[in-house]
C-alpha cells in the first residue's frame, strides 16, 4: 500500500452498522502507516459519543445507520463546532443523498466501490482541509446543477470572493488562502460566508460544484491539488 511520507498520524473514527464492513475498511486503512483507527461505532448515536471521547482528526461515516444517520451526525458535529473532518463513505450514489451530505457540512463523499487507495487519499485530503468528491458523482452533480433553472439570478461575486473561491477549489485551507492573499483568516472566513450566501451553498464542496456549473471557475481548476 502506498504511504504518505510524513510522521503525522491521522486519527480516524469509523462508523458503520455492519461489523464485517467495518472490519474490512479498518484492515485496509491501517495498512497506511499514517492512519490509525482509534474508535469504531455501530450507530450514529454511538459515533457522537465516541467523537466527544476520542476527538479524532477525521470521521468516516456511513449514511444509513441506526439511531442517527451519517447526515444527522454530520449536522451534530457542525452545530457543535467540532474540529473534525468528515468523509462519508457509502454505497448510495443518489443525487439527493449527495446534496444532503454536502449541505450538512461533510468534507467529502466517496463510494464504497472506490479503490482502497482512493479512500485512503480521501482521508488524507479531508485531514488537510480539502474537499473530496467521487469523480463520477461530481460529474453528475455538476451536470444536474447546470440544468437547473434558478428562480432568481445568482448575485455576482467580487474579484476577491472569486479569488478565495478559486483557492478553495484547489484545496487550500483558510490559513493557506490568507497567506496567499496577504489577508487575515477572519477575512477569508467572511469572504467564504458571502460566497456561500450568493451561491446558495452550505459547504465548500457544494460552493465549488455550484461555481463550476455556473461557469465561474473551470472544472480543471477544481481538479487541481495544492
pLDDT in tens, 157-210: 888 998 998 888 887 888 889 999 999 989 998 998 898 888 877 777 778 877
Asked whether residue 185 falls in the same domain as residue 93, the answer is no
- As beta bridge partners, residue 133 has 109
Question: Is the Cβ–Cβ distance between 32 and 4 less than 8 Å?
Answer: yes
| Within-domain flag for 131 | yes
Higher pLDDT, 169 or 40: 40
Q: In this structure, are 92 and 191 located in the same domain? A: no
Residue 140 buriedness (CB in 10 A; 0-12 / 13-18 / 19+): middle
H/E run at residue 163:
helix 159-169
CATH code of the domain containing 83: 3.40.50.2300
Same domain, 136 and 32: yes
Give residue 199's pLDDT. 83
Are 176 and 90 in the same domain? no
Q: Cell triple for residue 86?
A: 468528515
Note whether 51 and 161 are same-domain residues.
Answer: no
The verdict on 98 and 16 lying in the same domain is yes
The answer for residues whose C-beta is within 8 angstroms of residue 117's C-beta and 6 or more apart is 1, 2
| 127 & 193 share domain | no
Phi first, then psi: what are they for 149, rounded to 5°? -105, 120
Mean pLDDT along residues 55-67: 93
Asked if residue 184 and residue 80 are part of one domain, the reply reads no
What pTM does this model have?
0.66
Q: Which domain holds residue 196?
A: 149-223
Instruction: Tell whether the torsion through CA atoms of 170, 210, 137 and 14 is positive or negative.
Output: positive
**179 belongs to a structural domain:** yes
Q: Clarify whether residues 209 and 121 are in a common domain.
A: no
Residues 163 and 208 in one domain: yes
Any domain includes 112 = yes
- 211 lies in a domain? yes
Mean pLDDT within 120-148: 73
Last residue of a domain, one of 142, 169, 189: 142
Q: What share of the chain is helix, strand, coil (3-state, %, to 5)?
A: 50, 15, 35
Query: Is 83 domain-assigned?
Result: yes
d(CA 152, CA 224): 31
In a domain, 3, yes or no: no
Same domain, 137 and 155: no
> Both 63 and 40 in a single domain?
yes
Alpha carbon distance 213, 107 (integer Å) = 19
State how many domains the chain has.
2
Bigger pLDDT: 192 vs 140: 192
Amino acid at each position: 500500500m502506498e504511504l504518505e511520507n510524513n510522521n503525522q498520524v491521522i486519527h480516524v473514527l469509523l462508523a458503520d452498522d455492519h461489523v464485517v464492513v467495518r472490519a474490512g475498511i479498518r484492515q485496509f486503512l491501517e495498512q497506511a502507516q499514517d492512519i490509525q483507527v482509534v474508535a469504531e461505532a455501530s450507530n450514529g448515536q454511538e459515533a457522537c459519543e465516541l467523537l466527544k471521547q476520542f476527538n479524532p482528526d477525521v470521521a468516516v461515516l456511513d449514511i444509513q445507520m441506526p439511531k442517527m444517520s451519517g447526515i444527522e451526525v454530520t449536522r451534530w458535529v457542525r452545530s457543535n463546532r467540532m474540529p473534525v473532518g468528515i468523509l462519508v463513505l457509502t454505497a448510495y450514489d443518489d443525487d439527493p443523498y449527495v446534496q444532503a451530505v454536502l449541505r450538512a457540512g461533510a468534507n467529502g463523499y466517496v463510494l464504497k466501490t472506490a479503490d482502497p487507495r482512493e479512500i485512503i487519499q480521501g482521508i488524507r485530503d479531508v485531514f488537510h482541509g480539502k474537499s473530496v468528491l467521487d469523480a463520477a458523482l461530481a460529474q453528475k452533480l455538476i451536470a444536474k446543477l447546470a440544468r437547473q433553472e434558478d428562480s432568481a439570478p445568482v448575485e455576482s461575486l467580487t474579484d476577491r470572493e472569486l479569488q478565495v473561491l478559486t483557492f478553495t477549489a484547489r484545496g487550500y485551507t483558510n490559513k493557506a488562502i490568507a497567506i496567499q492573499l496577504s489577508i487575515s483568516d477572519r477575512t477569508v472566513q467572511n469572504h467564504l460566508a458571502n460566497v456561500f450566501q450568493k451561491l446558495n451553498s452550505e459547504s465548500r464542496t457544494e460552493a465549488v460544484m455550484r461555481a463550476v456549473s455556473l461557469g465561474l471557475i473551470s472544472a480543471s481548476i477544481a481538479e487541481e491539488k495544492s
